[in-house]
Amino acid sequence: MCGIVGYVGDRQAQDILVNGLEKLEYRGYDSAGLAVFDEGKIDYQKKKGRIQQLKEVLDEKPLAGSVGIGHTRWATHGEPSDVNAHPHVSSDEKIAVVHNGIIENYMELKDKLIKEGYEFQSDTDTEVVAHLLDSYYDGDIFEAAKKTAKDLKGSYSLGIMSSDDPDKLIAIRKNSPLIIGMGENENFIASDVPAILEHTRNIYYLDNDEIAVLTKDSVDFYDEDGNSIEKKETVITWDPEDAEKGGYPYFMLKEINEQPKAIEDTLIGRITEDGIKLDDVIITKEDLDKIDHVHIVACGTAYNAGLLGKAFIEKYARIPIEIETASEYRYKDPIITENTLLIVLSQSGETADTLAAIDIAKKAGARVLAITNVVGSSVAREADDILYTNAGPEIAVASTKAYVTQVACMLLIALHLAKLKGLLSEEDQKRIAESLLNSPKQIEEALEASEEIEEFAYENKDLHDVYLIGRGLDYDSCIEGSLKIKEISYVHSESFSAGELKHGPIALVEDGTVLLVVATQDKTFDKLLSNILEVRSRGAKVLAIAQEKHRDALEKAGVEKVFCITDLEDDIAPIPAVVYLQLFAYYLAVARGCDVDKPKNLAKSVTVE
């Protein structure tokens, strides 16, 4: 995720900015840059790669001056490169800007600015902000910033400086965090507390549509119309290590809590008034007509998201899907022709088995559509069509926000393919799109249940096995939930399709066996209820995730903990449902004293076979 640091004070800005960016390295980035005001002009340096590479450039040509902005970029629009790195500057280099987030309407704004004569250097959405600021600038950078913000749709936090107003920094926030730090004769902006914690603990959190104007001895806050507002200071008491995790004890819990925002970022610009719009998926109707079978291939959690993808594509686009783990696919002699579409999912975009699968498929003439979280990754470079998850970097080994965003992407792809085939009614498209947009709220509901899930996990921390059952999409959620439990708590866990219980697994159920039941699908609820009664009568302790309207029935069946999702569209249920399972896995691991973020024997990115 991108990082922002800004400084205005008496000290030299360069080292404070670089040091602040280093404190944000944990967020992940692919390039870094700084802009500092000195002797009547803004100087800047930006470099693809690590901060160390930027430092080498700065060692040769330091940026002097005591006002500046810095940025670490995690690419979303345009691959990692020097030119796409931030800051971005206006053509006369009098205005510089750093940005976190995604400008949803940047294409529209870019077209307008090009017509006005602006020339673009980069592929980023951010550069439109620099030129927009310039187009509105008539001597007052605050006014220009206010007008610019009104034109922008999407999520953004911005740090802005102007060489005509050299003692000032402007900070603006919408749907992307930004804080202001107050020091003595110096003030700071940052996307996250660790960047400035060694200089100040006195912080103001900007809220959406708020603007801050900083000089070295003042900070003023305004609403979007420029009316002055008062804000409350927060004094940070965390130590620096906690601060990196945003106050959470583990990155995994932080990332679980980031899921509402991650889904919002996945959907930005892709659900429009005209329906689903996937810019980088360029399959045409003619291309699709030629495709006679689709393979979905991935590893680990990404594979589990692919399971839901299969269900969605088969349901909406009526195309038969074969799904395989990449490690099996590559040695199985799969039937691939020029009429094959291979869909791969990979958070990192660097998983060796997944890359090998792409290689095999491409050699056989298949078309490759990739869902990945990392712009410019190997998977992204190899694919013909790409859909980025926009989840921001994931640090904990156990994948959470990457999974829910992959599921959302799979549903978008299914709808897109169905639309191309003329199989999607306007009504269905609208209903599912609305429901997807509502899913962040349902994730919030799940997050609110954290304490209760924690209690249940602690009560049962000495269990030897935990089983998960569900049907249809719920079974797919169980598979992912079970993987999470294994990965981080080292408890033996298996998922079963509930209808298969009586064909074997029910023999495992005895007094005190813990069963997690995912029962969100309306059409199979009654069947699942019978399964619950079967395991309850053998003494199992059950935690269930279901729809509100089924609460009574579950409680009557003796289910110990019932968690209900409201306003549920069945196909969207896997997104909030898995969050309850992630939380259970997390608290079970904590209760058992496990190192949640770094489980034994596992790696985040498996780049070898």
Catalytic residue among 55, 112, 461, 604: 604
Please, which residue, 300 or 309, has the CB nearer to ligand G6P?
300
**Least distance to ligand G6P, CB of residue 155, Å:** 24
Q: Which residues are CB-contacts of 129 (< 8 A; sequence separation ≥ 6)?
A: 88, 97, 99, 103, 148, 152, 156, 158
Please, which residue, 461 or 604, has the CB nearer to ligand G6P?
604
**Least distance to ligand G6P, CB of residue 348, Å:** 3
Give the three-state DSSP class for 528: helix
Residue 70: CA atoms inside 13 Å, Cβ hemisphere, count? 33
Please, which residue, 214 or 395, has the CB nearer to ligand G6P?
395
Which one, of 203, 171, 187, lies nearest residue 100 by Cα? 171
Give the three-state DSSP class for 363: helix
CA–CA distance, 22 with 248 (Å, rounded to integer): 20
Please, which residue, 529 or 581, has the CB nearer to ligand G6P?
581
User: For residue 452, with 0-12 CB atoms within 10 Å meaning exposed, 13-18 middle and 19 or more buried, which class applies?
Assistant: middle
CA–CA distance, 524 with 477 (Å, rounded to integer): 15
**Least distance to ligand G6P, CB of residue 394, Å:** 8
Catalytic residue among 2, 299, 478, 594: 2
Report residue 246 as tokens.
Answer: 């945003």
Q: Which residues are CB-contacts of 401 (< 8 A; sequence separation ≥ 6)?
A: 255, 256, 258, 259, 262, 391, 392, 394
> Which positions lie near ligand G6P, rule CB under 6 A?
299-302, 346-348, 351, 354, 397, 399, 602, 604-606
Which residues pair with residue 210 across a beta bridge?
173
Q: Torsions phi, psi of 531, nearest 5?
A: -60, -40
**Least distance to ligand G6P, CB of residue 500, Å:** 25
Taking CB atoms, the residue at the shortest distance from ligand G6P is 300
160: enclosing H helix or E strand: strand 154-162
**Least distance to ligand G6P, CB of residue 308, Å:** 14
Known catalytic residue: 409?
no
CA–CA distance, 553 with 537 (Å, rounded to integer): 15
Please, which residue, 252 or 498, has the CB nearer to ligand G6P?
252
**Least distance to ligand G6P, CB of residue 116, Å:** 42
CA–CA distance, 209 with 541 (Å, rounded to integer): 47
Please, which residue, 191 or 347, has the CB nearer to ligand G6P?
347
CA–CA distance, 385 with 8 (Å, rounded to integer): 43
Report residue 102 as tokens.
Answer: 């995604």
DSSP strand pairing (541-547 vs 561-565): parallel
**Least distance to ligand G6P, CB of residue 347, Å:** 3
Known catalytic residue: 245?
no
**Cα–chain-centroid distance for residue 170?**
27
Please, which residue, 446 or 488, has the CB nearer to ligand G6P?
488
**Cα–chain-centroid distance for residue 185?**
37
Residues classed as catalytic = 2, 604
